[in-house]
């Protein structure tokens, strides 16, 4: 299944220069989005992408999910992609702080928004899969949240 590539392709295409560190690897997993909040707006019903974790050469890690559907090469790609960025330890799916949120909004043609934030991404065993919870507030106190339960299937790493 190639659909996990779509969020990554869109992020790479729209990433601002500050996010231009080298991408070392990406891990994606299918499952169920249980909560998605972008800038205080509840979007759980629209959450439709797999969860993705990216590891960069500067040690940062990002977790992302988005709204809308997907098609090969983003022809019907996600409407919004939310990323939680922070320092990582190099391992897949391990807890990390969040110090920046990034939102790309295809629905309104808004360019990528980068905001300083404070929060964390927590990963817990939820047999058969994993429960991923990311929560952060930006400098204006807007809330960003993602709760995603993976289905326990094989993660796709590239």
Residue pair 36/46 in contact by the 8 Å Cβ criterion: yes
Q: Say whether pLDDT at 96 is over 60.
A: yes
Range of the domain at 20: 5-157
Query: If you count them, how many residues does the chain have?
Result: 158
Could you tell me the CATH number of the domain that includes residue 120? 2.40.160
What pLDDT score does 76 carry? Answer: 54
Residue pair 146/82 in contact by the 8 Å Cβ criterion: yes
If one counts the domains in the chain, the total is 1
Q: Say whether pLDDT at 99 is over 80.
A: yes
- Judged by average pLDDT, the poorest of 37-46, 73-82, 92-101 is 73-82
What pLDDT score does 149 carry? Answer: 95
Whether the CA torsion 19, 117, 91, 69 is positive or negative: it is: negative
């Amino acid at each position: 299944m190639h659909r996990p590539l779509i969020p990554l392709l869109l992020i790479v295409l729209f990433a601002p220069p500050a996010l231009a560190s080298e991408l070392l690897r990406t891990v994606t997993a299918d499952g169920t989005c249980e909560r998605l909040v972008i800038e205080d707006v509840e979007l759980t019903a629209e959450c439709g992408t797999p969860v993705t974790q990216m590891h960069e050469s500067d040690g940062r890690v990002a977790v992302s999910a988005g709204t809308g559907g997907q098609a090969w090469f983003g022809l019907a790609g996600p409407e919004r992609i939310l990323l939680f960025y922070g320092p990582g330890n190099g391992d897949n799916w391990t807890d990390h702080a969040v110090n920046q949120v990034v939102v790309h909004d295809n629905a309104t043609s808004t360019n990528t928004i980068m905001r300083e934030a404070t929060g964390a991404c927590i990963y817990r065993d939820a047999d058969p899969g994993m429960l991923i919870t990311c929560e952060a507030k930006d400098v204006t106190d807007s809330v960003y949240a993602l709760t995603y339960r993976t289905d326990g299937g094989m993660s796709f790493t590239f």
